[in-house]
Chains A and B, each alone.
Chain A
Amino acid sequence: MPSDAEHQSERVSRRKYLLTSAAAVGGVGLAGCSSSDTGNTNSGGGNGDADSSDGSGSGSSGPSTVTAEGSSTVYPISNKGSSYWNSNSPASDGEYWGSNDESSVVGWDQIETDMNIADYFASLYGFEATGERSNPPFATRVALSHSGTGCKAVRDGLVDIGNSSGPITAELDISEDERDENYVDHVVGRDGQPVFVSQAIYDAGVEQLTGEQIRGIYQGDISNWSEVGGPDQEIYVVGRAEGSGTDTSFRLNMLGDADAPMDVDTRFGQNQQVQQVLQDNDNAIGYMALAFSGSGIQAIAIDFEGTVFRPDPDAENTIFDSEYPLNRDLHMYTRINEETPDGTDMREAAFLNMFLTEFGQKTFVEDVNYITLPTSDVEAEREKLPEQV
């Protein structure tokens, strides 16, 4: 994999750098920053396995590599963030970081710095900038496995961050108290399936359905739009490939059971096909990733037991909320232990904080087709991180 090779070479270059200026960088980098010091020793144990392959690169001279592992669903977000971090692009880049005459990255107006990308985020937590491309203050590395594996790895201290698309309580079969005692849950984005209807149906007044109505439509009890306040037209019900993850989670979250019966008119394997069919027909309903919304289709509000989730990011309850039944949080867990009673050391905080900016949400979450967190949730997530210095 290219990213692996990339990481490899970055580690090598970092090691070289450390060899030449080990004392200086290490000393300055950690000076006056006791919590990053503890973070370092903490992960020394946790990273034992991972670091042995690094050789002496992360010895006492500099902060060790932040390692993450887990869910393939969270992987695109985590890995893209890691790639950006390790590139440590300068602010003059324009495409990946910063701005120049031609372009600037999203959310740049909130950042406005001369520093390189990893230098900037690391410096917020007291790390010394390197000022060099491809040479971040500390490297990051993301491994791909499964949610359960990622949770176990963070539990056993094999990695710093455990990526999981399901709650750790379910993955490790622990209680919520145990979770709160041992882990900090950092939500970086959401994976979800808003319900869409054809534009003509939306225009005819079907802007909102209840959970009960959607259940009826997908189980064959409701077959005409007039039954739910729309025009007198048959409903063209679009489902997803039988047994796929999307199909299973829809059955589970919307129909109440992972093997609930469904009665649909057509099934498609891909978001693009659902989008096309919803545009081509004027009587269709379907569910797909938010990134595929476009002209000719409309996301609708859903009323779940009295709470109306609207497709508007500024509404009180939105379809981007974690409470919206078709959404699931994408988690990055960190471990609470003796060295880090807060659960998140300065290295981890610096890395995670990158995802909790407008730049990070747009680049690492929205661009890989996931739902970004509403502003209030981003703020709540930032509260979980240690104080910036």
Chain B
Amino acid sequence: MDLSTDTEVGGWEARAERYSGRVRTFITETAPGALAVVALSMGSLLLAFAGFLLASPLAAVPFGVFVLSTGYGWVRHQALVARAVTFAMTTVTLVTLGLIIVFIFVESVAAFRYESVTVFGVSVPGLGMFVQTRWDAVSDPVRYSLLPMVHGTAMVTAIATLVAAPLGVAAALFISEIAPPVVREVVKPGIEILAGIPSIVYGFIGFTIINPWAGEEFALNGGSTYLFVGIVVGLMALPTVVSVAEDALTSVPDSMKDGSLALGATEWQSMTSITLPAAFSGVSAAVLLGVGRAIGETMAATVMLAGVQKIPEPITNVFYGYETLTSLIAANYGNASGVQESALFAAGVVLFVTVLCLSVASQYIEARMRRRLGGERT
């Protein structure tokens, strides 16, 4: 992309001029038949999308046209059609994301309105969810504070990270640097199978074995604890961390390690002072992916937690387990209606924003580490 040169050379008019020029060249250089097919196929796809948005049964017609014209074009003008189709598929992904975001925000509006709080004469919608701690959808006063759930999510995520990060990074280091090839060949697929165990299985084990056990051993009322939910979720996030961190460590060029060894450093010294720092961006991305998994984990949290919306006292007490944002949604969506349902969407919005921040943070860390440690620039 030569966007940077564009901005240097002229304003938007010049850019538009150049762009339309490029479009014209493209049109004159392409066979009119191929152009017609691509235009038909993309146009009908757009129409089908419009029909889908309007929930029209006629949307099937343009979609059929799209399939037929693309099929024809694939046979006759494959290269051009492939370009158009791959572009369209990328757009579909983004549009899906966009529609989901719009939907959860629109659905949560009622709850944000309900929880408006006036600050200095200005009504701030949604502030009521974060300045008091009462969630009660039934009895007076009906309030929808998300703070208990934000607290629960933070507790579970923190504990899960404390479990998954050290274990995961250590395991990744062992697999990539220390283990003999035979062990690596066996362990790596094993860890990936661990990632394939459905979360309800963990949750079920937690509900039937860990909760009763914890209730008895720690003399707890019931046995739902953030501690054990966090540990279970941490174990669930473990394979993600190991797998991604291992890839990052393996991708550190051998030449760097060899250089360190040649200078007389021990293997362990090379690992801690060369391999780990060089792979830091990848390893931190692995941990953040694990954290993301922990925040979004629903099933295990829902079945193991108590499902009441409270904040324990003191708030660092991990031997209570009340509710997380995800378990709130999972446990209540069936019975919720009206503002309560909207408040569940608000919980979804909070989750979405959190995960977005996490993703931006991981991108930032990665970019920063790349700047500091060098490596090939793009």
> Which residues on the B side are within 8 Å of A280 (C-beta)?
208, 211-212, 215, 223
> Which residues on the B side are within 8 Å of A273 (C-beta)?
303
**Are A281's CB and B215's CB within 8 A?**
yes
> Which residues on the B side are within 8 Å of A264 (C-beta)?
308
How does the 8 Å CB contact mask read for B295-326 relative to A, with 1 for contact and 0 for none?
Answer: 00000000100111000000000000000000
**Are B306's CB and A234's CB within 8 A?**
no
When A236-B221, A243-B138, A266-B307 are in contact, do A276 and B207 touch as well, CB less than 8 Å?
A: yes
Would you call the interface of chain B mostly helix, strand, loop, or mixed? Answer: loop
Binds A, one of B24-32, B59-67, B334-342: B334-342
**Are A266's CB and B335's CB within 8 A?**
no
User: Residue B136 at the A interface, CB < 8 A?
Assistant: yes
**Are B224's CB and A243's CB within 8 A?**
no
> Which residues on the B side are within 8 Å of A95 (C-beta)?
none
User: Residue B332 at the A interface, CB < 8 A?
Assistant: yes
The 8 Å CB contact of B208, one of A244, A247, A269, A276, is A276
CB contact list, B177-228 vs A, under 8 A: 207-208, 211-212, 215, 221-224
**Are A259's CB and B139's CB within 8 A?**
yes
**Are B307's CB and A267's CB within 8 A?**
yes
When A241-B334, A243-B340, A266-B306 are in contact, do A259 and B140 touch as well, CB less than 8 Å?
A: yes
Which residue in chain B gives the minimum CB-CB distance to A241? B335
> Which residues on the A side are within 8 Å of B334 (C-beta)?
241, 244, 269
- How far apart sit A351 and B136, CA to CA, in the bound complex (Å)? 45
Q: B205 CB to closest chain A CB, in angstroms? A: 13
Which residue in chain A gives the minimum CB-CB distance to B212? A280
Which residue in chain A gives the minimum CB-CB distance to B307? A267
The 8 Å CB contact of A265, one of B138, B222, B336, B337, is B222
Q: B310 CB to closest chain A CB, in angstroms? A: 9
**Are A267's CB and B221's CB within 8 A?**
no
User: Residue B331 at the A interface, CB < 8 A?
Assistant: yes
User: Residue A242 at the B interface, CB < 8 A?
Assistant: yes
> Which residues on the B side are within 8 Å of A31 (C-beta)?
none
How does the 8 Å CB contact mask read for B234-251 relative to A, with 1 for contact and 0 for none?
Answer: 000000000000000000
User: Residue A347 at the B interface, CB < 8 A?
Assistant: no
The 15 listed contacts between A and B (C-beta, < 8 Å) are: A239-B308, A241-B332, A241-B334, A244-B334, A244-B335, A251-B139, A262-B138, A265-B222, A266-B306, A266-B307, A267-B308, A269-B334, A276-B208, A280-B223, A283-B221
Q: Assuming A236-B222, A265-B308, A281-B212, what are 7 further A-B pairs, CB within 8 angstroms?
A: A243-B332, A248-B138, A261-B136, A262-B138, A267-B306, A277-B222, A280-B211
B contacts, CB < 8 Å to A: 136-140, 207-208, 211-212, 215, 221-224, 303, 306-308, 331-332, 334-337, 340
